[in-house]
Amino acid sequence: MDYPPEPWDLRGHGYVSLWLVPAGVVPSLPPGVRPVTLFGRAVVATAFVDYLPGGLLPYHELLAAVAVRQGGRFGLTITDIWVDSPASREGGRELWGIPKELAEFAVRHEPSFTGGATADGALLAEARVGGLSPGLKLPFPVRGTVLQALRGAVAQTPVRAAGTVHLGVGTWRVGGALGWLRGRRPFLTVAARDFTMRFGPRRR
């Protein structure tokens, strides 16, 4: 399978919800990486992303990521992720250690966002995001680091994104591998419309 070399320059729409969950239910993390906790609860982000034509690859994505630290370094570890592009799946695994799997997606952005993802006919997640506030254009790119296990080490991959952010109201229904979030509710939801993002290159 051919996939583009890093970095990946992407654009699209993303819908992100933040959760607080007991640290003990978080899936396994790379060696030496620990969840960031608040009163014993880990900070988790879930997202539906629609990567649009005009970026390096157009595809859909569903993910769950945990806010983590490795010593004094803070970042995110993606624990669960699905896409509908075989090239994205293989590139994510080989370049950065991101455990992408394939799924089927149905998304609609207007009048409010609705998204769903299934694998082999079984529900992974459904989300609705509405009540969006007026957009706030970020005055500078948001930067972060993704920490993943890759070939016996912890890969550190920088991410930079810019766009317009809207506060919203999000509801989720999860199943399958995301069952560790079942019965919980996000405390914050934002929509990033017409964002641009550069993923990579990996530092090591």
Contact 174, 186 (CB under 8 A): no
Q: What is the pLDDT along the chain (204 residues), one digit of tens a residue?
A: 699 999 999 999 999 999 999 999 999 999 999 999 998 899 999 999 999 999 999 999 999 999 999 999 999 999 999 999 999 999 999 999 999 999 999 999 998 999 999 999 999 999 999 999 998 888 778 999 999 999 999 999 999 999 999 999 999 999 999 999 999 999 999 999 999 999 999 997
Nearest residue to 204 via CA among 67, 6, 4, 27: 6
Question: Going along 71-152, which residue ranges are E strands?
Answer: 73-83, 100-102, 104-108, 113-119, 122-130, 136-137, 142-150
- How many whole angstroms separate alpha carbon 117 and alpha carbon 14? 15
CA-based radius of gyration for the chain: 16
The bridge status of strand 37-38 relative to strand 41-51 is: antiparallel
Domain ranges of the chain: 8-199
Q: Which long-range contacts (CB under 8 A, 24 or more apart) does 60-67 make?
A: 60/84, 60/105, 60/107, 60/117, 61/88, 62/103, 62/105, 62/115, 62/117, 62/124, 62/125, 64/178, 64/181, 65/146, 66/26, 66/27, 66/29, 66/35, 66/36, 66/42, 67/35, 67/36, 67/42, 67/43
Ramachandran angles phi, psi of 140, nearest 5°:
-155, 160
Alpha helices (H) in 43-149, listed in sequence order: 86-96
Query: N- to C-terminal Cα distance for the chain?
Result: 23
Residues 126, 143, 177, CA angle at the centre, nearest 5°? Answer: 30
> According to the model, what pLDDT value does residue 137 have?
87
The domain 8-199 is placed in CATH, from the list 3.20.20.240, 3.60.10.10, 2.40.400.10, 2.60.40.10, at 2.40.400.10
Place of tokens 């699905």: 82
Q: What is the pLDDT of residue 103?
A: 98
